[in-house]
């Protein structure tokens, strides 16, 4: 083992010794990244086909975002919401105009945005809809992934996310994803909201039937129920629209955003909603020390500017269609399904051939980095700045990997 390889092995060993083992990373140590590419400590180059679960939509180390980060950090970074800043207002105005909604509550992580949505929906149910105190109920979808807090994993249908973490708070009902009739049948006078992902990411890039969101919008309107969409992964250009719900021409009552909002450099999230929902928060009812800091606002605004100015939404649509066509044309016996939208595709692997983890390990050896989900599906979600040539290079490596597995 040479010196650099030894250093990389040591880095893995030290992390394993001191870090909680709540992830199972591939055995690679990334020390540098730029655009759609990453490098390990030995100088090997890897194409990023995961983009940190959509957090790096604008690419690694985008110069405009880094400039906004460093310029703002040199002036003032964190003051807490105890005081006003000159950055927060313009950032949230831009976000609200972009979504067509009326107000926003800035937070840090995606899970915090979802927790904020839950609190807003419940208080709206009591103060606006007239639901009896502590009786509000939120309908969620089977296979959901909205974060890792105790409340959120409490309404997950994935037992591994729940095991050993109870008791969980109530107030949620799980309904099959894509089944609008079952969702409507579950509505009662106590239903405050329906909370769903337009496309389920962690479940394996599961796309619901056409018209699903339009029909949810209709039943929410008829039953006086809020429609809250979690677009933390699917939003900000990932699916070839600014937001995945725009493929069906609807507008939610509340929207959870995060990941790409931080420009790949820091956690930035927000719950954006119509006026009567966002106004449920008064002084002292909710908060976050770092949420909405001048630094977060400056970075978030820069990230939105980059997505718009560089045409990354249209780029995702065009390259996504190309990626779908190429993957669908592989006709490999290892592939059971290819699904997704924009630059966000899942390839389901036949377990009789290999686990998705095994495929990801072989891809790593060929210079392509991605991550499996549920042992069956490989996610392909590169930074939206990726070139067509680099995308084709990754697909070629994938095709070669599958060919070797099925030879």
Roughly how many angstroms between the first and final C-alpha of the chain, as a whole number? 31
**Peptide bond preceding 354: is omega within 30 degrees of 0, i.e. cis?**
no
DSSP 154-189: HT-S-HHHHTT-------EEEE-TT-HHHHHHH--T
Catalytic positions are 145, 230, 259
> Are the C-beta atoms of 34 and 265 separated by less than 8 Å?
no
- CA dist 248 and 193 (Å) reads 19
Cβ neighbors of 213 (< 8 A, separation 6 or more) are: 198, 229, 245, 248, 250
> Are the C-beta atoms of 11 and 30 separated by less than 8 Å?
no
> Are the C-beta atoms of 252 and 284 separated by less than 8 Å?
no
Which candidate, 239, 227, 244, 261, places its Cα nearest to that of 113? 261
DSSP 215-233: HHHHHHHHHT-EEEEE-TT
């Amino acid at each position: 083992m040479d010196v650099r390889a030894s250093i990389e092995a040591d880095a893995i060993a030290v992390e394993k010794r001191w870090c909680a083992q709540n992830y199972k990373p591939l055995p690679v140590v990334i020390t540098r990244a730029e655009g759609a590419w990453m490098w390990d400590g030995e100088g090997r180059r890897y194409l990023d086909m995961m983009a940190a679960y959509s957090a790096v939509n604008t690419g690694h180390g985008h110069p405009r975002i880094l400039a906004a980060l460093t310029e703002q950090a040199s002036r003032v970074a964190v003051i807490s919401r105890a005081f006003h800043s000159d950055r927060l207002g313009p950032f949230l105005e831009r976000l609200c105009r972009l979504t067509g909604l009326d107000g926003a509550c800035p937070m840090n992580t995606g899970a915090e945005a979802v927790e904020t949505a839950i609190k807003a929906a419940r208080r709206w149910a009591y103060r606006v809809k007239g639901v009896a105190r502590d009786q509000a109920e939120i309908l969620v979808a089977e296979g959901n992934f909205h974060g890792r807090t105790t409340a959120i994993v409490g309404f997950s249908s994935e037992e591994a996310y729940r095991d050993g973490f109870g008791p969980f708070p109530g107030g949620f009902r799980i309904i099959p994803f894509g089944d609008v009739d079952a969702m409507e049948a579950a509505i009662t006078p106590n239903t405050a909201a329906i909370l769903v992902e337009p496309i389920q990411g962690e479940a394996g890039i599961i796309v619901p039937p056409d018209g699903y969101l339009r029909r949810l919008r209709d039943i929410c309107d008829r039953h006086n129920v809020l429609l809250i969409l979690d677009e933390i992964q699917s939003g900000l250009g990932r699916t070839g629209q600014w937001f995945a719900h725009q493929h069906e021409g609807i507008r939610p009552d509340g929207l959870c955003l995060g990941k790409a909002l931080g420009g790949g450099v820091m956690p930035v999230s927000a719950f954006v909603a119509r006026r009567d929902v966002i106004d449920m928060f008064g002084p002292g009812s909710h908060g976050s020390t770092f949420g909405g800091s001048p630094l977060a606002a400056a970075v978030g605004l820069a990230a939105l500017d980059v997505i718009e100015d560089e045409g990354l939404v249209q780029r995702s649509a065009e390259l996504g269609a190309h990626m779908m066509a190429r993957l669908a044309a592989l006709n490999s016996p290892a592939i059971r399904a290819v699904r997704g939208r924009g630059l966000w595709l899942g390839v389901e692997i036949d377990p009789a051939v290999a686990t998705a983890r095994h495929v990801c390990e072989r891809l790593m050896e060929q210079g392509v980095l991605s991550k499996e989900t549920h042992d069956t599906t490989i996610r392909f979600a590169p930074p939206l700045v990726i070139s067509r040539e680099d995308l084709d290079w990754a697909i070629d490596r994938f095709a070669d990997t599958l060919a070797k597995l099925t030879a």
